[in-house]
Amino acid sequence: MWNAQTKLIPVTIGATGTISKSLIHYLSNIPGKHEIKELQKTAILDTSHIPWKVLMWKYKMSLEMTLHVP
C-alpha cells in the first residue's frame, strides 16, 4: 500500500466561483462525472460558511461573557 502510485491534479475554484482555464483538462483526469456548476456552487457555499462560523463563535463568546458562564 505504501508504494502506491499517486498523481497530483490541481483543481482550483475561487471563493466567488471563478475557475482556471485548465480546469476542464484536469477534471478529465479524475474518474467520474463532474459538473462545473456544482463545483462552483460548493465552493461558494463552503466559503460563505466560514464567516458564519466565525460570527457565531464571537456571538457565543460574548454571550458567555455576559452571562458569566465558565
Task: Count the Cβ atoms, other than its own, within 10 Å of residue 19.
Answer: 16
CA–centroid distance for 23 within its chain? 16
Percent of the chain with pLDDT over 70: 94
pLDDT at 44 over 70: yes
**pTM value > 0.85:** no
**Cα 54 to Cα 52: distance, rounded to the nearest angstrom:** 5
Strand partners of residue 13: 19
* pLDDT value at 69 more than 60: no
Instruction: Reply yes or no on whether the pLDDT at 16 is more than 80.
Output: no
